[in-house]
Amino acid sequence: MLSFKFLKLILLISITSVTGGAVFSDTNWPSWRGPNGNSVAVSKSLPTKWSDKENVAWKISIVGDGASSPCIWGDSVFLTAQDGEKLLALKFDFKTGKNLWSKELSTGETIRDPLRGKPGDQRRRQKFHKLHNLASPSPVTDGKSVVFLFGNGDLACSNFEGTILWKKNLQKDQGVFTIWWGYANSPLIHSNLVICTVMQDSLEDLEGEKAQSFLIAYDLSSGKEVWKTPRKTIAKAESCDSYTTPIYYKTANQTQIILMGGNQLDAYDPNTGKQLWKKEGLNGGRTITGPTIDQNKVFATQGMRGPLIAFDLDTSSGVPTSEKPVWEYSKNTSDSCCPVGTNGLIFIVSDNGFAQCLDANNGTIYWNERLGGDFKSSPLACNGKIYFINLEGICTIVEATKTFTVVAKNSLGEGVIASPAVYQDHLLIRTRKSLICIGNPFAN
List, for residues 83-110, the tens digit of each pLDDT value.
999 999 999 999 999 999 999 999 999 9
The rounded distance, in Å, linking the Cα atoms of 69 and 135 is: 10
Mean pLDDT to the nearest integer, 242-270: 95
Q: Establish how many alpha carbons lie within 13 A of residue 58's alpha carbon, considering only the half-sphere containing its beta carbon.
A: 15
Model confidence at 150: pLDDT above 50: yes
The rounded distance, in Å, linking the Cα atoms of 261 and 288 is: 8
In angstroms, what CA-CA distances link 13 with 21, 23, 120? 10, 8, 54
Per DSSP, the chain holds a count of helices (H) and strands (E) of 2, 33
Beta strands in 205-302 (DSSP E): 214-219, 225-230, 247-250, 255-261, 264-268, 275-279, 292-294, 297-301
Q: How many other β-carbons are positioned within 10 Å of the β-carbon of residue 63?
A: 13
Mean pLDDT to the nearest integer, 173-178: 97
Pairing assessment for the beta strands 40-41 and 380-382 based on DSSP bridges: parallel
Mean pLDDT to the nearest integer, 204-210: 93
The lowest-confidence range among 23-27, 117-121, 225-229, 409-413 is 23-27
Model confidence at 270: pLDDT above 60: yes
DSSP 254: -
Q: How many other β-carbons are positioned within 10 Å of the β-carbon of residue 215?
A: 22
**At 119, is the pLDDT very low, low, confident or very high (cuts 50, 70, 90)?**
confident
Model confidence at 116: pLDDT above 80: no
Write down the mean pLDDT value for the chain. Answer: 92
CATH topology of domain 18-438: Methylamine Dehydrogenase; Chain H (2.130.10)
At residue 113, the pLDDT reads 74
At residue 112, the pLDDT reads 87
**At 27, is the pLDDT very low, low, confident or very high (cuts 50, 70, 90)?**
confident
> Are 373 and 394 in contact, with CB atoms under 8 Å apart?
yes
At residue 87, the pLDDT reads 98
H or E element, residue 155: strand 154-159
**At 25, is the pLDDT very low, low, confident or very high (cuts 50, 70, 90)?**
very low
- Residue spans per domain, the chain: 18-438
Per-residue pLDDT tens over the stretch 34-43: 999 999 999 9
The rounded distance, in Å, linking the Cα atoms of 168 and 154 is: 6
Q: What angle do CA 124, 125, 130 make, to 5 degrees?
A: 140
H or E element, residue 11: helix 4-19
Model confidence at 9: pLDDT above 80: no
Per-residue pLDDT tens over the stretch 339-375: 999 999 999 999 999 999 999 999 999 999 999 999 9
> Are 296 and 308 in contact, with CB atoms under 8 Å apart?
no
Burial class (CB in 10 A: 0-12, 13-18, 19+), 431: buried
